[in-house]
Amino acid sequence: MNHNYILTIDQGTTSTRTIIFDNQAKMVAKSQKEFTQICPKDGYVEHNPEEIWQLTKETIKEAIDIAKIDVINIKALGITNQRETTVLWNKITGQPVYNAIVWQSRQSQEICDELIAKGLEGIIKDKTGLIINPYFSASKIKWIFDHVPKVKTEALKGNILFGTIDTYLLWKLTNGKVHATDYSNASRTLIYNIKELKWDEELLKYFDIPTNILPKVLPSSYLFGYATALEDINPLFSKIPIASLIGDQQAALFGQCCFDGGDAKSTYGTGCFILMNTKDKIIHSNKGLLTTIAWGLDNKVEYALEGSVLVAGSAIQWLRDNLNFFKITKDCEKFVQGPNPSQGIYFVPAFVGLGTPYWNNDARGTILGINRSTTKDHIIAATIEATPYQAKDVMDVMIEESGYDLRYLGVDGGASANNYMMQFQADLLNQKLIRPICQETTALGAAYLAGLATGVFKSKEQIKTLHQVECVFTSKITDEERMERINGWHNAIDATLQYKNNKLKEK
């Protein structure tokens, strides 16, 4: 049987990957290359856009070589990307005017503080679904204007373009012919009106950003252009359409087939990102969730609620690197023994504060319940359990504010391979957790959307039939046990916040 293929670029925060899927949604090849993390000052995180572009081309060539397929059978390219990360470049020379400022970077904090002091939080949240924070793109654009000579002047002349990474790669792939983004990425900039689906003139004035630098906003599944810049790899690329753009977390939501209202996914990595599809409903949170566009498809947009756990897998890395409890991360599960392996110990890993629903930047990590019989095994178990507890807090808020009942939770990301963590999550939620065979759900989501635009996939219903499940976790504890554990966790959170308050009083 002849297979058609979709090539997906998954441009992440630490590496660039190219993954090729066939028309049965099976991964046939993957190439991955890490790139330089540039941290010129404390709190600054930057990337070299040209390095990202070069590695993108290298991974594309390598993936094709690994797959041993004819390029003529590649029917579409899809792009998914680290969101919010900001690039400005000269459209005449094609050269970036500064490094890409990464979503993690805090260098534009003062710009955000000034806007908060002006009382603009309410109007910006109402229009964008977001909070004023350097996490998002707008303050990064202004920071470059304020700190890099002549860029603002050139922008006013019409010589500068802005884009998140998807836009930059699209422009490079099309040899500068297409300057566009999709609804999901636009919704993360802090200057896009998610109700009216347009760049918001009032918000642009707050950040002093001219409209002529902005990309056109299009559906996530769309024929954006052709990959003519890859003709040096194979001339046939000039005939292959780039048919999807989508932010990474939204791509994972689509890759998990979360197509109905209330469907949710949780990606367990360094942190933990949880998204719930809310269909055509814009739900503004009062408890720390973000409102975002999930994707644009079939001439409409759908929305999502998003919550974040700041420290998840990185807490396990801390046990490995700082405390030397084990040498290989995946070995941590070997230390989890018995029906109650944490023995009443709670670890609140607030290394950089607490995320949803607490949003407390001053909180710091605490371990509670230690006694003379406590061993490193108990602390390892408590550390693994900390991520499901935090995710449960996020899910409780999502269910409350969305009005949806959770039917299941799709799980992915590196830490989702930890069976004890996933079982503990199912126990706390008292709901099904579904772990798919293909863990590359971010790239798969972009592939699905590209396939829908080019006819490789006919419908979301067909895509659901291709979704293969590796494992289903269901609760194995009683309601009494569940409440006892959750109450203990909330006591630990209270103690952590009380400690923070006492430290502030001492100052």
One domain for residues 245 and 317? no
* Higher pLDDT among residues 391 and 42, named by residue: 391
One domain for residues 341 and 223? no
C-alpha to C-alpha distance for 100 and 37, rounded to whole angstroms: 11
One domain for residues 243 and 323? no
Q: Is residue 298 part of a domain?
A: no
Two structure tokens written together for 82: 């680290």
Q: What is the mean pLDDT of residues 92-120?
A: 93
Residue 108 banded pLDDT, cuts 50, 70, 90 = very high
Report the pLDDT value the prediction gives residue 502, as an integer from 0 to 100. Answer: 62
C-alpha to C-alpha distance for 42 and 49, rounded to whole angstroms: 21
Two structure tokens written together for 283: 């739900």
Number of domains composing the chain: 2
C-alpha to C-alpha distance for 348 and 95, rounded to whole angstroms: 45
Report the pLDDT value the prediction gives residue 240, as an integer from 0 to 100. Answer: 96
One domain for residues 224 and 145? yes
Residue 500 banded pLDDT, cuts 50, 70, 90 = low
139 — phi, psi (to 5°)? Answer: -70, -25
What is the number of alpha carbons within 13 Å of residue 485 lying toward its C-beta?
26
DSSP H helices in 230-375: 248-255, 313-321
One domain for residues 323 and 202? no
* Higher pLDDT among residues 48 and 311, named by residue: 48
Q: Is residue 219 part of a domain?
A: yes
One domain for residues 133 and 225? yes
Chosen domain end from 222, 249, 276: 249
Report the pLDDT value the prediction gives residue 329, as an integer from 0 to 100. Answer: 79
Q: Is residue 423 part of a domain?
A: no
Amino acid at 277: N
One domain for residues 342 and 226? no
Q: Is residue 439 part of a domain?
A: no
Q: Are 107 and 143 in contact (CB under 8 A)?
A: yes
- The 10s digit of each residue's pLDDT in 189-198 is 999 999 999 9
pLDDT above 70 coverage of the chain, percent: 98
Chosen domain end from 233, 249, 265: 249
First to last CA, the chain: 71
Q: Is residue 194 part of a domain?
A: yes
Print the domain residue range for 47: 5-249
Q: Is residue 419 part of a domain?
A: no
- The 10s digit of each residue's pLDDT in 40-94 is 888 788 999 999 999 999 999 999 999 999 999 999 999 999 999 999 999 999 9
Q: Is residue 244 part of a domain?
A: yes
Residue 503 banded pLDDT, cuts 50, 70, 90 = low
Residue 29, pLDDT > 60, answer yes
264-268 and 366-368: which strand pairing? unpaired
Average pLDDT score, the chain: 92
Q: What is the mean pLDDT of residues 198-221?
A: 97
Chosen domain end from 215, 249, 283: 249
Residue 337, pLDDT > 80, answer no
Q: What is the mean pLDDT of residues 250-274?
A: 93
Residue 505, pLDDT > 70, answer no
One domain for residues 63 and 161? yes
Report the pLDDT value the prediction gives residue 41, as an integer from 0 to 100. Answer: 85
Bridge-partner residues for 293, per DSSP? 303
Report the pLDDT value the prediction gives residue 338, as an integer from 0 to 100. Answer: 76
Label each residue of 117-144 as H, E or C.
HCCCHHHHHHHHCCCCCCCCHHHHHHHH
- The pTM score is 0.90
CATH classification of the domain holding 494: 3.30.420.40
Instruction: Single out the residue of 23, 191, 37 nearest to residue 101, CA to CA.
Output: 37
Class of residue 178 by CB neighbours under 10 A (exposed 0-12, middle 13-18, buried 19+) = middle
Task: For the beta carbon of residue 239, count every other beta carbon within 10 angstroms.
Answer: 13
One domain for residues 239 and 381? no
Report the pLDDT value the prediction gives residue 154, as an integer from 0 to 100. Answer: 95
One domain for residues 245 and 325? no
Amino acid at 317: Q
One domain for residues 221 and 341? no
Q: Is residue 76 part of a domain?
A: yes
Residue 504, pLDDT > 60, answer no
Residue 181, pLDDT > 70, answer yes
One domain for residues 243 and 333? no
